[in-house]
């Protein structure tokens, strides 16, 4: 039992120390009030979970998409309709249930 407890404590210490040494997460947001609110909520939540977060504000959809592909940002809030229109070449009208499948 002591061995199990010791191994558990060692694993927990390794997890938390590696998390503290990790680079901050980069969160990109657009220039809308709603995006700023979502960003602030996300930053607060992740910081409470022990992550360092660096918000990048007022980033356009195409720029944030390219930054995500190139691993320059880690996350962003995106609207399904915007993604469908800007990031794909689809011209078909879609039913709202099928949007997330595309």
Helix (H, G, I), strand (E, B) or coil at 49: coil
Number of residues that this document lists for the chain: 102
Domain positions in the chain are 23-99
For 9-31, what is each residue's pLDDT tens digit?
444 444 554 555 689 999 999 99
**Cα–Cα distance between 90 and 102 in angstroms, integer?**
9
Round to the nearest angstrom and report the end-to-end CA distance of the chain.
50
Rg over CA atoms, the chain: 19
CA distances from 37 to 14, 20, 31, 91 (A): 33, 26, 11, 31
Neighbouring-strand partners of residue 25:
53
Return phi, psi of residue 17, to 5°.
-70, -35
For 41-89, what is each residue's pLDDT tens digit?
999 999 999 999 999 999 988 898 889 889 999 999 888 777 777 766 6
Please give the residue that has the higher pLDDT: either 88 or 93.
Answer: 88
Q: Is 2's pLDDT higher than 60?
A: no
Domain 23-99: assigned CATH number: 3.40.190.10
């979502």: which residue's tokens? 38
């Amino acid at each position: 039992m002591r061995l199990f407890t010791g191994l558990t404590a060692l694993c927990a210490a390794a997890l938390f120390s590696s998390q503290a040494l990790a680079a901050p997460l980069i969160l990109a947001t657009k220039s809308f009030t709603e995006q700023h609110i979502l960003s602030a909520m996300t930053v607060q939540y992740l910081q409470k979970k022990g992550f360092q977060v660096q918000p990048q504000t007022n980033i356009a959809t195409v720029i944030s998409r390219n930054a995500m592909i190139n691993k320059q940002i880690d996350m962003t809030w995106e609207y399904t309709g915007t993604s469908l229109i800007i990031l794909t070449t689809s011209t078909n009208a879609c039913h709202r249930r099928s949007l997330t499948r595309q």
